[in-house]
Amino acid sequence: MKDRLVRLIARVPAGVHAKLLAAFLMIAVLLIILGAVGLQALIEVNRHAEELVKLQRKIAAYRQLQHDTTGQLYTVTSALLVPDERTLEATLRQLNQFGYDLDRLQFVSRDELELFGRARADYERFIEVVTRVVELLRTGRVADGRELQLTQAGPLADRLERLTNELVNKAEADMVTSVESAHAAYVTSRWIVVGFAIGSIGLALVLGYAISWSLIGPVEQMNARLARIAAGEFAGRVEVPNRDELGTLAANLNHMSEELGRLYQQLETASRHKSQFLANMSHELRTPLNAILGYAELVQDGVYGEVPEKIRDILARVQASGRHLLGLINDVLDLSRIEAGQLTLTLADYSLREIVHAVFTATEPLATEKALMLTVALPPTLPPGRGDERRLMQVLLNLVGNAIKFTEAGEVRIDAAARDGRFEVAVTDTGPGIPPAEQQRIFEEFHQADSSSTKSKGGAGLGLAIARRIVELHGGRIGVESRLGEGSTFSVTIPIRAECVLEAP
Amino acid sequence: MRHRILLVEDHEDNRRIIRDLLANAGYELIEAVTGEDGVQLAETQQPDLILMDIQLPGIDGYEVTRRLRRNRALAGTPIIAVTSYALSGDDAKALAAGCDAYIAKPFSPRVLLAKVREYLPPS
């Protein structure tokens, strides 16, 4: 149910801004309605209060009327007993006062018009009678006055009293009714106000929930999708029901993901093609180069006849350059095959001692040529290793070759030992050393420490990169420690028994 | 009597180099460009040693070696495989197919000659 509401809000084809504005407007309208209803209730309560006050005044007026009627009778009776001018004046004055009260009542009471009309008629007759009584008294006809008083004024006064009593009772009954209806109105308006308040709060909460989740949900989904994209998973889409900015964002995200996936695939294909191309090309390059080297060697060996010393020397240089070129091509081939995932190790038992000796034999002439000491330090016994002998020899040849190449004076030492199930081989030189910043980068492809000074040394800068890959394929590590001006130590650590061939990273 | 060597090699320059090298060293050379020719020549000419390139058009050096080994007359003839550097594991496969030894390309003529002399010492 809640989710359906969230989806419903999400599907509304309006912007986030418009949705928020609409929600706030709805809440504001509810608050305004709540205020209006409250005001209405207040007005109602006030009206009831005013009515009560009116009723109270009416009751007071009726009581006054009653009182006046009684007072009238009393004064008239007194005038009959002591018929002097002052008493008569007072009687007439009181009559006027009585009339005034009645006039006033006319504005107060509207409901009891019939009853009031009768009271008014009775009063007028009463005034008439009393006025005649006073006139009679003034003319000295006291007996006639008393007669009139007894026969007419008395009963009229009684009737007036009854009428006013009736009015008071009616007004009091009205008041009770009014109090009750005021209370009922209060209770009703209280429920209306409370109801509207609860309704507003509820609506605000529901709208807040629905709108915020219609925003947060897609954001969370897209965030999760982005995390998967960052992890390299381009397949899959994020589906949000939103038809607002977030919907557009999700659509763009999906589009981006697809594009990235496509680009990634293209890149992968391109990279594979490149590696394949490099592998093919370097293989193709090697064939004619092999022919060149072969012919040169045959010529040098006198297969095609006697060769003058000068030409023999030139041929030696042709061969040296050719071998150098062959080395470069082999490096490129190795690396491209590693990148194409085609380089696998041929695991077999090997003797580390034999590898070290073979490397020593191969590199000693180079060291001697530069008047460097090349020494080997091996423990008396070494366990048989398992790995790709040819590749491991390639690694060690590269390290020792580099050491000799970059060292101008001093020595190059090869140390090997077996420790904790691993072979540790170190090649130490007294060369120029490698700056700390370069020490990691030299294991990257096409990188040479300080290219300006090493350019003359030749090499494509691939040897260490290949060595690293080979060592890593064996499940080992290669590293360097070096201090500028003091020399470098390259160390290789590999499991003595590399049983499983690891994937190249 | 001069030793007779069969060379199975599709590449023109490689054939020329080996021909010149071995002729200069006093061997008699017969040449085949394809594996099928190699099998046929081996059977008809009965060479003393066979130099077998592995990467050949048609049937490859392994298959040629296996076929020759099935021929009783050729079962004992030394076969030296010329394996490619580019394909690791060739050497092991060559030995498994029945070769006696292998030389990895790129080969130096001197090394090749030394290997041949191991099996056919100069008379």
Most confident listed range (A30-39, A181-190, A337-346, A420-429): A420-429
Give B30's Cβ-side CA count (13 Å radius).
19
Q: Do A297 and B24 touch (CB under 8 A)?
A: no
Among residues A237, A263, A233, which one has the least CA distance to residue A250? A237
Q: Cα A67 to chain center, whole Å?
A: 81
**Overall residue count recorded for chain A in this entry:** 505
- Closest residue to B11, CB basis, from A287, A326, A343: A287
Nearest CA in chain A to B10: A287
Q: What angle do CA A59, A65, A66 make, to 5 degrees?
A: 90
Q: Which of chain A's residues have a Cβ under 8 Å away from the Cβ of B89?
A: 344, 346
Select from A421, A442, A10 the least CA-distant residue to A209.
A10
Tell me the angle at which helices A85-108 and A113-138 cross, rounded to the nearest 10 degrees. 170
One-letter amino acid for residue A448 of the chain: Q
Task: Convert the pLDDT of each residue in A348-389 to its tens digit.
Answer: 899 999 999 999 998 999 899 999 999 999 999 999 999 988
Single-letter amino acid, residue A405: K
Q: Please judge whether B13 and A304 are an interchain contact, meaning their C-beta atoms are less than 8 angstroms apart.
A: no
Both tokens assigned to A432: 């120029």
- A478 or A272: which leads in pLDDT: A478
Q: Tokens for A426?
A: 């170190």
Within 8 A of A278 by CB-CB distance, chain B residues are none
ipTM for this model: 0.89
Average pLDDT, chain B: 88
* Rounded Cα distance, A458 and A435, in Å: 20
Kindly determine whether residue B106 and residue A298, on different chains, have CB atoms separated by under 8 Å: no
Of A75-79, A133-137, A265-269, which has the strongest mean pLDDT? Answer: A265-269
Q: Give the mutation candidate from B7, B12, B13 for the A interface (greatest A CB count, under 10 A).
A: B13
Backbone angles phi, psi at A418, to 5 degrees: -115, 125
Contact A298 B105 (CB under 8 A): no
**Helix or strand or coil: residue A12?**
coil
Lowest-confidence range among A135-144, A290-299, A467-476? A135-144
Ranking A75-89, A142-156, A242-256 by mean pLDDT, the lowest is A75-89
Once rounded to an integer, what is the mean pLDDT over residues A325-343? 79
B95 CB within 8 Å of a chain A CB: no
Q: Tell me which of A301, A315, A337 to substitute to probe the interface with B (most B C-beta atoms closer than 10 Å).
A: A301
Cβ neighbours, 10 Å, residue A214? 24
What is the Cα B13 distance to its own chain's centre?
Answer: 15
pLDDT at residue A453 greater than cutoff 50: no
Length of chain B: 123
CB of B96 within 8 Å of a chain A CB? The answer is no
Q: What is the dihedral of CA A19, A25, A28, A34, to 10 degrees?
A: -100
For residue A337, give the chain B residue with the closest CA.
Answer: B86
Q: Which of B17, B89, B92 sits opposite A294 (nearest CB)?
A: B17
A305: left (phi over 0), alpha (psi -120 to 50) or beta: left
Written as six digits, the tokens of A444 are 């990257």
Mean pLDDT of chain A: 84
Decide if A466 contacts A398 (C-beta within 8 A).
yes
Write out the two tokens for A270: 């391109």
Amino acid A503: pLDDT: 47
Query: Which residues, including other chains, have CB under 8 Å from residue A478's CB and lie 6 or more apart?
Result: A395, A443, A464, A467, A468, A471, A472, A490, A491, A492, A493
The residue with tokens 């009309």 is A117
Asked whether the beta carbons of residue B17 and residue A333 sit closer than 8 angstroms, the reply is no
How confident is the model over A130-185, as pLDDT tens digits? 788 878 878 878 788 888 878 887 788 788 778 878 878 887 888 888 888 888 88
Cα–Cα distance, A418 to A494 (Å, whole number)? 10
Could you say which residues from 33 to 92 on chain B have a Cβ atom under 8 Å away from some Cβ of chain A? 85-86, 88-89, 92
Q: Cβ(B68)–Cβ(B77) under 8 Å? A: yes
Asked if A295's CB is within 8 angstroms of B13's CB, the reply is yes
- Cα torsion through A381, A384, A388, A393, rounded to 10: 10
Å between B72 CA and nearest CA of chain A: 32
What SS3 state is found at B75?
coil
Q: Note whether B86 contacts A294, CB cutoff 8 Å.
A: no
User: What whole-number percentage of chain B has pLDDT above 90?
Assistant: 59
Alpha-carbon distance of A36 to A55, in angstroms, equals: 28
Quote the pLDDT of residue A23.
86
Do B14 and A289 count as a contact with CB atoms less than 8 A apart?
no
pLDDT at A451 over 90: no
Residue of B nearest to A332 (CA): B86
The encoded tokens of residue A489 equal 């130590």
- How many C-beta neighbours within 10 Å does residue A8 have? 12
What distance in Å separates residue A407's CA from the closest CA in chain B? 29
On chain A, the residues whose CB falls within 8 A of the CB of B86 are 279, 283, 286, 333, 337
Cβ within 8 Å, pair B21-A279 = no
Selection from B75, B72, B74, B103 nearest residue B90 by Cα: B103
Cβ atoms of residues A149 and A77 within 8 Å: yes
The pLDDT of residue B87: 53
Option in B17, B106, B107 nearest A298 (CB): B17
| Residue in this structure with the two tokens 């050393």, named with its chain if needed | A433
- The residue of chain A with its CA nearest to that of B106 is A290
Question: pTM here?
Answer: 0.53
DSSP letter for each residue of A342-399: ------EEE-HHHHHHHHHHHHHHHHHHTT-EEEEE--S--PPEEE-HHHHHHHHHHH
Sequence-separated (6 or more) residues with CB below 8 Å from residue A297? A319, B108, B109, B110
Q: In sequence order, what are the beta bridge partners of B30?
A: B6
Judge residue A431's burial from the number of C-beta atoms within 10 Å of its C-beta, 0-12 exposed, 13-18 middle, 19 or more buried: buried
Q: What is the mean pLDDT of residues A180-194?
A: 86
Query: B21 and A333: CB-CB below 8 Å?
Result: no
User: What average pLDDT does range A51-57 have in this prediction?
Assistant: 84
The residue behind tokens 């009559």 is A95
The DSSP element (H or E) to which A477 belongs, if any, is strand A477-483
